[in-house]
Every structure is written in structure tokens, then in C-alpha cells.
Amino acid sequence: AAMREEHIEKTKTVCTYCGVGCAFDIWTKDRKILKVEPQIEAPANGISTCIKGKFGWDFVNSEERLTKPLIRDGNEFREAEWEEALSLIESKFKETRETYGPDSMAFISSSKCTNEESYLMQKLSRAVVGTNNIDNCSRYCQSPATMGLFRTVGYGGDSGSITDIEQSELVLAIGTNTAESHPVLATRVKRSHKLKGQTLFVADLRKHEMAERADLFIQPSSGSDLVWLSAITKYIVDQGWQDQTFLDRRVNDLEEYIASLAPYTLDYAEEVTGVSKDTLIFMAERIAEVNTVCVLWAMGVTQHLGGSDTSTAISNLLLITGNYGKPGAGSYPLRGHNNVQGASDFGSMPDRFPSYEKVTDEKVRKKYEQGWSVSLPEEPGLNNHEMIDAVHEGHLKLMYLKGEDMGLVDSNLNYVHEAFEKLDFFVVQDIFLSKTAQYADVVLPASPSLEKEGTFTNTERRFQRLYQALEPLGDSKPDWQIIMEVANRMGAEWSYSHPSEIMDEAASLAPLFAGVSYERLEGYNSLQWPVAADGTDQPVLFLDEFPFPDGKAKLFPVEWTKPLEYGEEYDLHVNNGRLLEHFHEGNMTYKSKGITSKTPTVFLEVSPELAEERGLNDGTLVRLTSPYGNVKVECLITDRVKGKEVYLPLNDAGEGAINYLTSSYADKDTDTPAYKEVSAKLEILREK
């Protein structure tokens, strides 16, 4: 046994899937992944993982991994050496910038990549090419939550830690399928609910596992969350149950805010949302009565026309009830990808440098100009939604996108694919030939998390290090190395020899990460931003003050925006989201046998009532058609959905891909697509 163990390596890593940020040792022998062993000192998960973290690693050695750069040759790709691919990129980048200017180019970072890689991508865009056209996929998910928190409390991240959620007296989960999307975090809530008497309220369209377990489950009509949240807040204020001491000491704009609640009476809320007045009163009583409330929310809240406003309403409720700045309370917009928090934190946003400092702030810009020895663009750039429009309008000619399957995850796919075809030059960097990569002119082979060093930041703002377990496969390279080579071809003189040097540079410029260093993150050590220069971090935010000039939070009035209307013909509402076994479109999970044997394909959840009315059975093949496109998928009859509500999981890259149905309508404040506002008609293609 000793002999056999000789070549076995144990390497600490962080899960590549969701934002919970489970850390564990991974056992490898050569390229073989033997097992995943969580360690008690892992801060987010201890000894737990879910099926994806435990069994979702086959993709790393998949035969479909890209191992060589690819260059388009008519309708095909041919393999090429790095030298040829990079030379082609260099000449096209230079030519485009000279002919059309830097703003004709755009960059997309990845939430699967490390913080250091996000930092370099925005530096390439800003400092080397000279444009703020840089974004990342949080535009598709939690940007509205960030907006709601910026408006009210100043930082766009979870206000406490996962342990605070665990300790809270009452958890309110809105539009989050936590048990499937953030399984290890959900386990902690389930445990507190069962063993410690934690109260669990769930609001969602679909009766998922958390809803089954909840003390109270409400199903407000789609897109109406702002109305019942505001009605509860108003009722609390009308009864005089607000936390007046907290409001007096720590919050501004109370009167104006209270006046804005006038329309949100219980009668109005009952009429709009379908949730009874008595239920809303019961919720208000419990929320006002307990000492600590945590609100968890996700895409069911954010992916609407009024996603930012609803997120703001959540934060307003927490302020009114004094649920910030103490352990066991606060706001928790649960992050989807392992590093979607970090992608934004490190400046892959069109209007923000790392640390969320504004590109329009002259002092900040000067700091970066000095730090990077360049002059920088002054105007905010295009977000990824605007980039697609700009391609259609002819302003945007070139895109460089890494680790993001925009051609599947953006809304209104037919429109997105047309834009890809219109680009003069398109570089995609990924580990697989994704749907998006199929439209590229050059595809660069990158390395997944196990093949590189770096840091990820989980949903609780926690930095964790990942160590390299395997060599890059074939000719693939870590993203940070590829970005550096592209930058140097464009005239930069970067010479990072390890990601720790990139972090040191970021920490010297970005105040939120001032004290972050690889030494402080050794092994299972972690830090939660903001991290002061002496290394003090903040597991719970706002203990003393809010990050506004006078240290006080703001109550921010918001109004309800009605969801999109599709007309009578499109009579079914199509909800969508994840399944436990698969991660988003399944680019990685479909390549793991342990997972596909359990959930091999996508299906459409249909209620028993609708099945009866339309003659649908398990396995009936149907076509759903919206004004923007159609999908083909088999039915699964279940009481998880009710009435004319159907549910289409995201995990399909083919004819069942949800985004053939979604529109280009988006949250009015952040341009996050209104993915959850989809209606469609159904026809049977094959009986069962």
C-alpha cells in the first residue's frame, strides 16, 4: 500500500462549480483524479461537499478538452501552434484598433477564472488596448443585487458569512432554489431549521426542496416580489415595529422612504401577488419579532425588468428592521459561479476598477494611471448586453472572450448568434469548443482550476487559494499566462511569473484588498473583504458604519415594474433555473459520468393540471414557442409546478436551450436580461 501511495498527491483546491466555495484536498495520481477529501478546516464547507464537488471532475481529462489553439479555416477549424495563433491575434487587434479605435474592441472575463485572471483581463482592456468595454457574466445574474446593495448599504456582497445564515433566527429565501443551486449552504439552513428551531420562509414559483421544508411557503405571481416585500415593510412601519434606535443612529432618508411606501397596502399586495393579507401580516409579525433575519435571494428576484428595485426593497426591509451590522443577520444574494463575486470585485466591469472604484472618478483614475504607467479611458464602456447591440449597429468589430459561453447563456440567442457572425474578429478562450467558440476565428486552449494557481472569492466575500494539482493538458495554458502573452504582443511589458505577483499588484491599488497576500491565504486560511493593510478582514460587514461619507445607510424608494406581457397566445409562463446535478448549461457536468448517469438530459416540468388539460405524459415531446424562438423538449409531470407554470432547467446546449425563448428585455438599471419573464405556447410533437 505504501508503494502504491508513493505517487499519490494531495492538493488543496476550491470547487470550480458554485459560489459556496467549498474547499477540499483532491487526490491525484499522474493525471488521474482519485478522490475528493474535504477537510474540517475548510471555512465554507467543513467536511461536506455536494455531488458536483465530489464527482464532477471527469471533464478535466475529457477527450473533448482543447489542447491546441484552433484557427478558423472556412467552416472548419484547424489546429495551430501558439506562435501562429498569437501572431494572428496581434495583427487583427492592432489593425482593428488603428482603423476603428479602441472602443471598437470588447473583452469578456470569466466567473470560472481566478481573481488574478479577471484583474489581468481588465488591465489588458483598459491599460493596453485603451477601452472600458469589459464585462463579466454577473451581468446575467446578480448585478441587480449589487445595485440594490450599492444604493442602500454601499457594498455589493453578502453582508455576513454562511455561519451567520446558520445562526439566524429567521431565514427568508426568495427566488432561490438553494438546495439544488447552493447545496452545502442549504444543508446548513436545513440543519438549523430542524435542530435549532430556525424559522424558514420561502417565496418562489416552484415547490422545490426548500419550499417543502419551509414553515411557510408562498407562491407570489411571477415578478411581483417587490410588492409583497414593500407591503410587509409598510405594515411593520404602520404598526410601529421598526427598529427606531437603529434607524435614528445609522440610517438616512427615513421619511421620504416611508412616504414612498404609501401605495403598498395589504389589499393591493394581495391583489397583485395572490398572497393573502393574513399571510403577509403573519410574515411581518414574525420578521419584526425576531432578533435576527437573513434574506437569501437569487435569480428568481434579479432576472426581471425590476430586478434591481426588488433587491433594493429587500435591503430596505432589512434596514427598517435593523438587520444589518450584527451577527446572524443581513443580505445574502447567493452567487452562482465559484468566482462570479471575484470577477466583478477585480474590475471586469465597464464602469468600475477593482474594488468597485469608479472609472469616472479622476482621483482613482490617476492612481491607476500612475500604477500602470499609462493614460486611461475616462468614459464607462459597454456592458455585455450593450456589446451585442453595438455589434449589430456596426460599432463593435472585435471581441476577446474567455471562459464564458455567451452563445448559450445570453438571452435571445438567435440575436446573439447573428452578432457573433457579424464580428470582424472573434477570439474565444476556453477549455472546450463551447457553443460560443464555434463562432470564433481563433480558439485558445485554457486550463481549468486544477491546472493552475490562483484565488477564488466565494459568495461570502471570502478569498481562498487553489493550488496546482495537474500540469496543463496538451498545449493548454492557464488563462493568466495567455492574457499576458496577448498583452505583450500589444506592446505591454508584463513579466508576472506567478499569480501571487498579480495579487500583490492588485492589493497595492485596490483598497478593499489592501491586506490580501498569498502568505495570508496559505493552505486553508482565508480572508473576507474588505481586508485592511494589516490583514484584518470583515466576516460581518457594517458593524460600525456603512461605507458612505457620513457612515450611514440609505433607505432608497423603489416602485414596482410590471412584468412583460406576451399576449394571450403565449399562455404558459416558462420559469427556468438549475438542477442539483448539472451546472448551468452542463459544459463541465455533462462530461462527468457520475453525474450524467443520474441526470442524462433536460426535461420540461409540467403540472398535473396542465398535463390533464393538454394530454401530456412523462416523455411527451413538445415544442415551446415564444416570439423569439422555440425549443424542443420532453415533459415530466410533477407537482413542483402548478397551473400554467412550466419549468425548463438550463442544462441543455441543443434544441432545449432555454435562451432560444428569452427576449432582449432587461432589468432597467443593470441590463441583466429578464430571463424569468418568458411566456410561450406549447404544441405536441410526439405523443407518449
Cα separation, 584 vs 595, in Å, equals 13
Among the listed ranges 177-185, 320-328, 344-352, 381-389, the one in contact with ligand SF4 (CB under 6 A) is 177-185
Window contacting ligand SF4 (CB under 6 A); options: 104-112, 179-187, 275-283, 313-321: 179-187
SS3 at position 296: strand
Cis peptide bond prior to 530, omega within 30° of 0? yes
What is the DSSP secondary structure assignment for residue 238, as one 8-state letter?
H
Angle formed by the axes of helices 82-100 and 479-489, nearest 10°:
50
Nearer to ligand SF4, 61 or 187 (CB): 187
Number of residues that bind ligand SF4 (CB under 6 A): 14
Name the DSSP class of 512. Answer: G
Residue number with CB closer to ligand SF4 (100 or 467): 467
Q: Which is nearer to ligand SF4, 80 or 588 (CB)?
A: 588
- 68 or 578, CB closer to ligand SF4? 578
572 binding ligand SF4? (CB under 6 A): no
Binding mask 133-172 for ligand SF4 (x = CB under 6 A): ----------------------------------------
- In this chain, which residue has its C-beta nearest to ligand SF4? 53
- The binder of ligand SF4 chosen from 70, 149, 184, 446 (CB under 6 A): 184
Distances (CA, A) of 473 to 142, 469, 556, 649: 33, 12, 50, 31
Segment interacting with ligand SF4, rule: CB under 6 A, options 180-188, 295-303, 309-317, 448-456: 180-188
Give which of 6, 50, 45 is closest to 595, Cα–Cα: 50
With binding defined as CB under 6 A, does residue 210 bind ligand SF4? no
165 or 555: CB nearest ligand SF4: 165
> Phi and psi (nearest 5°) for 149?
-80, -40
Residue with cell 459597454: 382
With respect to ligand SF4, which residue has the nearer C-beta, 65 or 182? 182
- Can you read off the three cell numbers belonging to residue 170? 429567521
User: Cβ atoms within 10 A of the Cβ of 433, count?
Assistant: 17
String of contacts with ligand SF4 for each residue 40-79, x by CB under 6 A: -----x---xx-xx--------------------------
Site string for ligand SF4, 16-35 (x = CB under 6 A): -xx-xxx-------------
Q: How many CB atoms lie within 10 A of CB 613?
A: 11
Question: Are the C-beta atoms of residues 208 and 180 closer than 8 Å to each other?
Answer: yes
When the beta carbons of 210 and 484 are compared against ligand SF4, the nearer one is 210
Does residue 26 contact residue 11 with C-beta atoms inside 8 Å?
yes
Q: Output DSSP code: residue 220.
A: P
Segment contacting ligand SF4 (CB under 6 A): 140-148, 176-184, 214-222, 474-482?
176-184
> In this chain, which stretch among 13-21, 75-83, 634-642, 650-658 interacts with ligand SF4, using CB under 6 A?
13-21
**Distance between CA 411 and CA 564 in Å, rounded?**
15
Question: Going by DSSP bridges, is the β-strand pair 454-457/462-466 parallel, antiparallel, or unpaired?
Answer: antiparallel
Residue 184 or residue 214: which is nearer to ligand SF4 going by CB?
Answer: 184
Min. distance of Cβ 42 from ligand SF4 in angstroms? 10
CA 160/CA 143 separation, integer angstroms: 18
Cβ closest to ligand SF4, residue 21 vs residue 328: 21
- The smaller minimum CB distance to ligand SF4, of residues 185 and 514, is found at 185
- CB neighbourhood size of 279 (10 A): 17
Which residues, numbered 274-303, are part of the site for ligand SF4 (CB under 6 A)? none
Task: Determine if 15 is a binding residue for ligand SF4 (CB under 6 A).
Answer: yes
Q: What share of the chain is helix, strand, coil (3-state, %, to 5)?
A: 35, 20, 45
Strand arrangement, sheet containing 527-528: 454-457, 462-466, 527-528
Instruction: Give yes or no for residue 588 binding ligand SF4 (CB under 6 A).
Output: no
Q: Where do contacts with ligand SF4 occur on this chain (CB under 6 A)?
A: 15, 17-18, 20-22, 45, 49-50, 52-53, 182-184
